[in-house]
Structure 1
Amino acid sequence: MTDALPGSVAPALPLVQSARRPLLLCLSHLRWNFVFQRPQHLLTRAARDHDVIVFEEPIFRPGQVPKLDLHRVPEGVTVAVPLLPEGVQGPAIAAALRGLLDGLLAPEAGRELIAWFYTPMALEFAAHLRPDLTVYDCMDELSAFRGAPPRMLELERLLLSRADLVFTGGRSLYEAKRSRHPRVHCFPSSIDAQHFAAARAGGPDPADQAALPRPRIGFFGVVDERMDLDLVAALAAARPDWAFAMIGPVVKIDPESLPRLPNIHWLGGKSYAELPRYLGNWDAGFMPFARNESTRFISPTKTPEFLAAGLPVVSTPITDVVRDWGPKEEGGVGVVEIADDPAAVAAALEAVLARPRGPWLKQVDRRLAQLSWDKTWAEMKGLIAARRMVTRAPAGEAVAAARIA
């Protein structure tokens, strides 16, 4: 492998709270400040009793001397952003990232280290690490996403061979991974119900949607190859009297490909804190997911978030949405309507707009009471602690410890 680029030295960790706290190193393909989702929910809770570092993908700049931009975010997590010179490629990138990572961890030698992977691609520069515990939190089937690197599946096989625990972001992913590792645990999308329940009180309408007529049908989330743009266009054309509020950053697709009908309003990305105000002034939500390889295994976090906000929602027939939230005859709990073409989506939205909310909300709240990100993290933390008992146990005690784990 090519030597690391000159200057690839990282400063000591900032604001380490205690050498006795475990160090949790998260290797992520998602930026902390992109969209507040599963990694942010879990790692914010992990930071209560771990020193958490999120090592992001690099940013390339002309003439940049390789270094880490280290900053502490309000949630108590340290974010490490590698800055590399524009034009560096292939093995030189991996070498530079490895050098930066080693410099970051060197002052913490001897501390308990948990390596928490969201992407197998991080093994290109982190395969040499020997953490006390390795966790693979598989929140998506990344190999099916547009632009996935050719080595993704090969590196995932390597990661699965090294991981002590594998968590999956939904039932479909669990079913796809459970035969590939002895300790795979299903943790579907959860909810910070209190945050989104603020939407039920309504509140001031955000300025950029205040002029939109009613009824308002809303979507929030990343706008990419997982959205069925033809469905959105056909639905808006069929119901010109409805306003469609579309919130979220556009990535991996050409913004010019977005349908531009007069009643479709692309409002851009919003912060997690802002979302309840937007949802609180919508009449219904919809999840117009395409049916393709990139959506085959998804378990959208926005499903319980729509419900916690008190908004009825219609989704295309994504497997985990149908089984977890859809009609009871399909195994769901009967709180999300499922439809698979523009006419059926329009009919389902008309039905939920006309439906009394009270009885439906009681069903929703009974289901949501069983979920929380606090509960999810507590269960994950328990599995981690049990597995650490096994990895720490002397040979004579390992069998008994394994029974616990």
Structure 2
Amino acid sequence: MILCFSHLRWNFVHQRPQHILTLASTANQIVYFEEPLFEVVPQAFMRSNDVSQSIRVVTPVLPVGTTPHAADAVQRRFLDTIVAATHQDRLTTWYYTPMALRFSDHIHCDVCVYDCMDELSAFKDAPPELVQMERRLLERADVVFTGGQSLYEAKRSLHRSIFPFPSSIDFTHFHQARAGGVDPIDQADIPHPRVGYFGVIDERLDADLVAQTAMKMRDVHFVILGPVVKIDPKGLPRSENLHWLGSKDYAELPRYLRHWGAGWMPFALNAATRYISPTKTPEFLAAGIPLVSTAIVDVVRTYGAEGLVEIADADDVEAKLRLVLARPRDHLWPQVDAYLLDMSWEKTWSAMADHIEHARSTRSILPFRRSA
């Protein structure tokens, strides 16, 4: 069994955890343990959702007003129940958030994995103790994966067995956007040309750059898909050629992308974006969308260096967007397809599984036992 601790809701945005753990579930039972929800309930309970025969999402539901100490104690008790109920011989703990150690550090496992997607300590509203908790997790983990090359370089001296796994691509899914199809209803009346963005809308998005660019390019309409988190939606720029269409299901994305003339990743250059390796970069490219990005390090030295993504700042973003809008849509498809050929999530999971199995075979620990 893989017992995964995550700060991300399973049904929030379909991204790295869902891709990897869905593949892992073909040979493992998965329990995806989310951060708690606080609701008006008389007592704490576990809300379970079987999203497949081998993936169960567990969400602790705690009464409003539960203290952090009490929340940790309740979640520790819930974990003991989950681990005691499993009849499998092997247990892998998988962490996306170091904060989960507060209530899970008593669990004995065969292998402990830390899949470090981002530098979470640099994100808005990060817990002050996050850096200390990550140090503890790095001491405990048998193998560490990072969500990009820059993040790997920043952390490789902190662990003996750490490996970079940048964002991969579900090529077949996004490739659908290269074929024709009916425009979604909420996008159908938006004039062309269109420039689009999809993803979480938070402090990593450069709202000022979006506003300035929309003002300069009045003839272009900017479509933005995704949930707004950690920032006030009222503070987002508004204009007649800016269209905030909200969150969309992963399955729906190709239907929107096929009707965009270009893609744009207007990330702010700040601490929260220093180490990101955006999953949407290969997704845009697989969809056949010409792409412009701000100077995110991992994008610049991979896709930018290969000439697959135009890199722009505030001074030349209009010129770069007009450049890609003027190109034939299939201008770079042969080069893009060749570059993405070996970047499947299946290949990523296979390599991860090999590292985990190696850690399992070489780890020297006490005989496995479930938590008391």
TM-score bracket relative to the smaller structure: over 0.9
Question: Per the alignment, do residues 163 and 279 of structure 1 end up closer, same or farther by CA in structure 2, a change over 3 Å counting?
Answer: same
Match in the other structure for 1:183: 161
Aligned mates of 2:48, 2:197 — CA distance in 1: 33
Alignment of 1:1-400 (within 5 A): 23-74=1-52, 76-108=54-86, 111-326=89-304, 332-341=305-314, 343-391=315-363
Contact 2:50 2:56 in 1 (8 A): yes
Aligned mates of 1:128, 1:392 — CA distance in 2: 18
Contact 1:64 1:86 in 2 (8 A): no
Which shifted more, 65-74 or 373-382? 65-74
1:391, CA displacement in angstroms? Answer: 2.1
Contact 1:223 1:248 in 2 (8 A): yes
Aligned mates of 2:135, 2:350 — CA distance in 1: 28
TM-score w.r.t. the length of structure 1 is 0.88
1:111, CA displacement in angstroms? Answer: 2.5
Unpaired runs of 5+ in structure 2? 367-372
1:71, CA displacement in angstroms? Answer: 1.2
TM-score w.r.t. the length of structure 2 is 0.96
Contact 1:29 1:119 in 2 (8 A): yes
SS in structure 1 at match of 2:251: coil
Match in the other structure for 1:401: none
Match in the other structure for 1:17: none
Match in the other structure for 2:369: none
1:358, CA displacement in angstroms? Answer: 3.7
Aligned length: 366
Aligned mates of 1:224, 1:75 — CA distance in 2: 33
Aligned mates of 1:177, 1:309 — CA distance in 2: 32
Counterpart amino acid of residue 291 in structure 1: L
Aligned mates of 2:146, 2:354 — CA distance in 1: 16
SS in structure 1 at match of 2:205: coil
SS in structure 1 at match of 2:244: strand
Aligned mates of 1:150, 1:393 — CA distance in 2: 32
Aligned mates of 1:353, 1:295 — CA distance in 2: 26
SS in structure 1 at match of 2:49: strand
1:74, CA displacement in angstroms? Answer: 3.9
Question: Per the alignment, do residues 90 and 233 of structure 1 end up closer, same or farther by CA in structure 2, a change over 3 Å counting?
Answer: same
Which shifted more, 175-184 or 353-362? 353-362
SS in structure 1 at match of 2:187: coil
State the Cα deviation string for residues 94-153 of structure 1 (Å, max 9, x = none): 111111111111122663100000000000100111111000000000000000001100
Aligned mates of 1:163, 1:213 — CA distance in 2: 51
Contact 2:28 2:54 in 1 (8 A): no
Aligned identity (percent) is 55
Match in the other structure for 1:402: none
1:356, CA displacement in angstroms? Answer: 2.9
Aligned mates of 1:324, 1:74 — CA distance in 2: 35
1:389, CA displacement in angstroms? Answer: 1.3
Which shifted more, 56-65 or 189-198? 56-65
Which shifted more, 75-84 or 33-42? 75-84
Aligned mates of 2:56, 2:41 — CA distance in 1: 25
Contact 1:286 1:313 in 2 (8 A): yes
Aligned mates of 1:135, 1:280 — CA distance in 2: 37
1:201, CA displacement in angstroms? Answer: 0.2
Which shifted more, 268-277 or 378-387? 378-387
State the Cα deviation string for residues 334-356 of structure 1 (Å, max 9, x = none): 10000011x41110011111123
State the Cα deviation string for residues 185-209 of structure 1 (Å, max 9, x = none): 0000000000000000021100000
1:393, CA displacement in angstroms? Answer: 9.7
1:64, CA displacement in angstroms? Answer: 3.7
1:90, CA displacement in angstroms? Answer: 1.8
More contact order relative to length (CA 8 Å, sep ≥ 6): 2
State the Cα deviation string for residues 333-391 of structure 1 (Å, max 9, x = none): 110000011x4111001111112344411110110112100000000011111111112
Counterpart amino acid of residue 144 in structure 1: A
Aligned mates of 1:145, 1:89 — CA distance in 2: 23
1:76, CA displacement in angstroms? Answer: 4.0
Counterpart amino acid of residue 159 in structure 2: H
Contact 2:192 2:221 in 1 (8 A): yes
Counterpart amino acid of residue 232 in structure 1: V
Contact 1:279 1:309 in 2 (8 A): yes
SS in structure 2 at match of 1:208: helix
1:62, CA displacement in angstroms? Answer: 1.3
Unpaired runs of 5+ in structure 1? 1-22, 327-331, 395-405
